[in-house]
Structure formats: C-alpha cells, structure tokens
C-alpha cells in the first residue's frame, strides 16, 4: 500500500517535515537528492523554490515543478522518524 501524506512542511536547510495518514511523521533531508540528481539542483539555485513544495491530489507524491518530484513511499522509507515533544 502506498503511504498517503497528510501534512507537509518545508523547514530550514532543505528538510521536509512530512506526516502520513497512519500517524507516522518523518523528517526528509533533500540535500542528498540535490547533490545527486541534476534537476534537484534548482531547489538550491532558484531562490524560494524549495518552500514552494506542493502535494499532488492523490497525496502520494510531492512536487516543486514539472521536473522535480518525490514519491511518498521514498519519503516514508528513507525519512528519519520524528516524534514531537509534548509540552508539560
């Protein structure tokens, strides 16, 4: 089953905070993709592009433009699990 994204937030230093329908929340570092995938370099070279990340209608893919996208299953598998701290 393909994980569906519930919420998406771009953070500083090319990191995405992504929450899924099953309750899992991850931090996905896009810097490695920027270094290894030529089309991803625009995320660093075009001011503000990284923060324009969008979720597609199926909620199984995020994208920035017609050339840069990232499937939810990759984010789910390779993201670092994030457990929010509870306030006392």
3-state secondary structure string across 12-26: HHHEEEEEECCCCEE
Query: Each residue of 2-25: pLDDT tens digit?
Result: 999 999 999 999 999 999 999 999
- Total domains in the chain come to 1
86 belongs to a structural domain: no
Residues 6 or more apart whose Cβ sits within 8 Å of residue 79: 16, 18, 26, 27, 28
Residue 10 lies in a domain: yes
- Which residue range is the domain that position 50 belongs to? 5-81
In a domain, 29, yes or no: yes
83 pLDDT more than 90: no
The reported pLDDT for the residue numbered 85 is 75
List the CATH number of the domain containing 26. 3.30.2020.10
pTM: 0.92
pLDDT tens column, 43-70? 999 999 999 999 999 999 999 999 999 9
């Amino acid at each position: 089953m393909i994980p569906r994204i519930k919420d998406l937030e771009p953070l500083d230093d090319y990191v995405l905070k992504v929450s899924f329908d099953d309750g899992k929340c991850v931090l996905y570092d896009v810097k490695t993709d920027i270094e290894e995938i030529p089309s991803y370099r625009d995320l660093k070279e075009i001011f503000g592009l990284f923060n324009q990340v969008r979720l597609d209608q199926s909620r199984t893919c995020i994208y920035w433009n017609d050339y840069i996208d990232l499937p939810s299953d990759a984010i789910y598998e390779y993201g670092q699990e994030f457990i929010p701290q509870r306030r006392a």
